[in-house]
């Protein structure tokens, strides 16, 4: 299988995994606890920014369509996970895919903060557009969402090394990171 086909296959698998994991998330009123971002991070660590972005974009798009249908803000809700994949992939590619444990923890934590900020902006825009804005709803639990995102990043950091080792058997960095 050539490199392009492997990347497309991996992206499709990661987007599908994102979709499945998103349906096993815990949706609380002010935050969502989910492992759906893990495939986005894996794609970014394995292949770089494009696959990370695509896995986040496609996975979140499918989730939005199946959960909520298409609306004026659908594309806004897709951007945070896609940007997370882009940021992680850019960082990992910059380090030539040779990332230490500390660097992995750093980029996962930074991407969790970015995701929280972007999701808060999207909540704000969505609430303004659809008329349910309340300061408490949009900004009242930002600290809680940052803590939740940080805990999720810690969990991702713990499972990332064995997952990457297993996935690199099928998708070696030298093959698909170019």
Domain boundaries, the chain: 3-166
Strand pairing partners for 166? none
Contact 113, 148 (CB under 8 A): no
Tell me if the domain spanning 3-166 has CATH number 3.40.50.800.
Answer: no
Phi and psi dihedrals of 84, rounded to 5? Answer: -60, -45
Angle between the 101-130 and 74-94 helix axes, to the nearest 10 degrees?
A: 160
What's the pTM value of the predicted model, to 2 decimals?
0.91
For the stretch 113-164, pLDDT in tens is 999 999 999 999 999 999 999 999 899 889 988 999 999 999 999 999 999 9
| Residue closest to 37 by CA, chosen among 67, 10, 7, 17 | 17
Q: Residue 61's closest CA among 32, 53, 148?
A: 53
18-66 pLDDT, tens digit each: 999 999 988 776 667 889 999 999 999 999 999 999 999 999 999 999 9
Whole-number Å distance between alpha carbons of 76 and 64: 10
């Amino acid at each position: 299988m050539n490199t392009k086909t492997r990347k497309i296959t991996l992206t499709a698998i990661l987007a599908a995994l994102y979709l499945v994991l998103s349906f096993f998330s815990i949706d609380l009123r002010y935050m969502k606890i989910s492992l759906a971002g893990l495939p986005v991070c894996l794609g970014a660590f394995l292949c770089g920014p494009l696959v990370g972005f695509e896995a986040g974009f496609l996975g979140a798009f499918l989730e939005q369509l199946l959960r909520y249908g298409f609306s004026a803000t659908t594309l806004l809700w897709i951007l945070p996970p896609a940007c997370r994949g882009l940021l992680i992939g850019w960082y990992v590619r910059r380090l030539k895919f040779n990332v230490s444990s500390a660097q992995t923890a750093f980029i996962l934590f930074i991407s969790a903060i970015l995701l929280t900020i972007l999701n808060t902006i999207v909540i704000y825009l969505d609430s303004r557009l659809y008329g349910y804005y309340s300061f408490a709803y949009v900004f009242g639990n930002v600290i809680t969402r940052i803590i939740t995102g940080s805990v999720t990043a810690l969990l991702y950091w713990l499972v990332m090394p064995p997952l990457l080792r297993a996935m690199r058997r099928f998708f070696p960095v030298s093959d698909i990171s170019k």
